[in-house]
Amino acid sequence: MHSLHDFRLVALAFVVAVGVAPAAPDPPVFKVTEDGDRIRIAGNALEASIKKKGYVSGVEAGSLLDTKTGARDLGFGLDIVDWVMEPGSDEAYRDKLPGDLPYVFDNLYHGKRAKRCIEGPQICTQAKELKPTVVYGKDFVAVKQNHPYTLAAPGKKTGSKWEQTIVFPAGKRYFVSADKITAANASDAMFLRIDMPGHIKHKGGDTFSEVYLSYHGTVAPKEFEKDFAPDEKFLYARDDKKVPKRIIRAYHIRDPKTGKDGPWLAGMTIDGSSVYEAWCHQRGYVCMIEEIGGRAVKAGDTFGAAFIVGYFDSVEEMEKVYDEFAGNQGLEVSEKGWKLKTAP
């Protein structure tokens, strides 16, 4: 009686005798390289890098390449992260605030709306170093990173945790991301400040032909010729009775040498109720800050938002992708796959 092992030997001998080679494995959908400074991700549709040191969080400035058109993002990075904040002034105890927590408003940078930092430091400029990890899947690659907040305002604890997950699906011109806070403190209206999608560097509107804000409409470059405060024009402030169907913030890239339009770069918060405030103002560049949360939390609670960020050929295409993912606030990933969630 022949054993299973004997049959395997016969089969192997046949393969060798007739010269039939085993099937080659599928080529990887992404090329990922990593050094001490950054993680580089290259796919057929999109390329990007994630910095480990220096100006950290999100996708590195200028690294998001649309292979279809050759376009790159125009700002200081995408889905970049700042402080944990709440409404109200810190003036009464500003001299006691550590590090970069003092927050001065009533100016062109921050507008007149009173806000204060609960915890810091500002992740992008002051965390200095993160330790992102890569997750490899069959048809995607993902990066996960986190950082505890180590500074706190008087009467507040340190230790809130920021977590970010970024997924690059194979063949897509966009990435999916989510930011989540696990709060160490209670607040009547805690929010996280981020850049969404990112800022726009320009000289007299030479790098973009229009901005699209789903809650406002299109905005011409001439509107950004002079600096103005966030609450002067184009401010979005949430009204729970009138949350827009979509929160899409995008700019239409233009080649400053030829004047020719390229693709849109959009940042879409796929549960509009997650957005507390969103700015689109001029401060030497077009500043597209977004604040997520802005609701009451207790110590130990979590809040956050999920996003689609990347390149599109039209507003209609953005809306179609938005509606495919709408209603989600969180993102999970493992080697087996990734999925969006309705909760952070």
In the chain, % of residues over pLDDT 70: 92
User: Which strands form 275-278's sheet, in the order they lie side by side?
Assistant: 151-152, 115-120, 80-87, 187-195, 289-297, 275-278, 236-237
Place 27 in a pLDDT band, splitting at 50, 70 and 90.
Answer: low
Query: Looking at the domain assignment, is residue 29 inside a domain?
Result: no
**Whole domain around residue 164: which residue ranges?**
82-341
Query: Looking at the domain assignment, is residue 12 inside a domain?
Result: no
Tell which residue, 72, 69, 70, 68, has the closest CA to residue 60: 72
Rounded distance between C-alpha atoms, residue 149 and residue 164, angstroms: 14
Distance of CA 150 to the CA centre of its chain: 22
Q: 133 pLDDT exceeds 60? A: yes
Query: Looking at the domain assignment, is residue 49 inside a domain?
Result: no
| Structure-token pair, residue 145 | 């990173």
- 189-206: per-residue pLDDT in tens? 999 999 999 999 999 999
For residue 105, give the CATH number of its domain: 2.70.98
| Structure-token pair, residue 341 | 């969630």
What average pLDDT score do residues 133-146 get?
97
Query: Looking at the domain assignment, is residue 55 inside a domain?
Result: no
Query: Looking at the domain assignment, is residue 13 inside a domain?
Result: no
Cross-strand partners of 104? none
Place 18 in a pLDDT band, splitting at 50, 70 and 90.
Answer: very low
| The pairing of beta strand 140-148 with beta strand 115-120 | unpaired
What average pLDDT score do residues 29-54 get?
97
> Structurally, how many domains does the chain consist of?
1
Task: For residue 178, give every residue at least 6 positions away whose Cβ sits within 8 Å of its Cβ, in sequence order, or none.
Answer: 164, 165, 304, 305, 306, 307, 329, 330, 331, 340, 344
Q: 51 pLDDT exceeds 50? A: yes
Query: Looking at the domain assignment, is residue 188 inside a domain?
Result: yes
Place 15 in a pLDDT band, splitting at 50, 70 and 90.
Answer: very low
Query: Looking at the domain assignment, is residue 251 inside a domain?
Result: yes
Q: 154 pLDDT exceeds 60? A: yes
